[in-house]
Structures are given as C-alpha cells and as structure tokens.
Amino acid sequence: MNKNDLISKVSDSAGLSKSDATKAVDSIFDSITSELKNGGDVRLVGFGTFLVTKRKATTGRNPQTGAAIQIPAANVPKFRAGKALKESVN
C-alpha cells in the first residue's frame, strides 16, 4: 500500500472527499514528523510508538577498496508495534 492507496482507504471508510482525506493524512504525517524532530515520541495506544534513537559514530569499511571510513553519529526514526497490532497480524 502506498500513500495514494492509504488516502483512498481513508476517504472511503470515513466518508471524506479525496482532498479532505489527503489533508488529514498529510496532517498526521506532518504532526508525527515535527514531534520526532523536536526530540519527542508519538505513542498511539494499541497501534505503536514512533521514536528517535541516537546511533553512535562507527568505523566502517568501503566494500570496493577495503579502506576504513568514518560513519558519523545520527538520529534514526524507529517504530515499535503495539501489542494489539502485533496480535492482529498474527
């Protein structure tokens, strides 16, 4: 499922026009993104949690030359599925 498929599903299930469903989906994505940028997390009970973790700087290897390269530290977005979501998939 891609973003357009999601918008169509939201439009059909909520009885919204496609433009209203697009605004709703975009608003949700923007809200989650801005909260993660500010260092917070988004907890959706029964669905899961969006959070940011810090990845340490490491030394890696260039696979073509074998030379050592420095991989910088980074903030990485993650999603942890909630109990209800895990149970519904299994």
pTM for this model (two decimals)? 0.79
Q: At 77, is the pLDDT very low, low, confident or very high (cuts 50, 70, 90)?
A: very high
Domain annotation covers residue 21? yes
pLDDT score of 59: 95
pLDDT score of 64: 93
pLDDT score of 78: 96
Domain annotation covers residue 60? no
Q: Whose CA is closest to 26, among 14, 36, 18?
A: 18
Domain that includes residue 34, residue range:
1-38
Domain annotation covers residue 26? yes
Question: How many domains does the structure of the chain reveal?
Answer: 1
pLDDT score of 81: 95
Domain annotation covers residue 25? yes
As a whole number, the mean pLDDT across the chain is 94
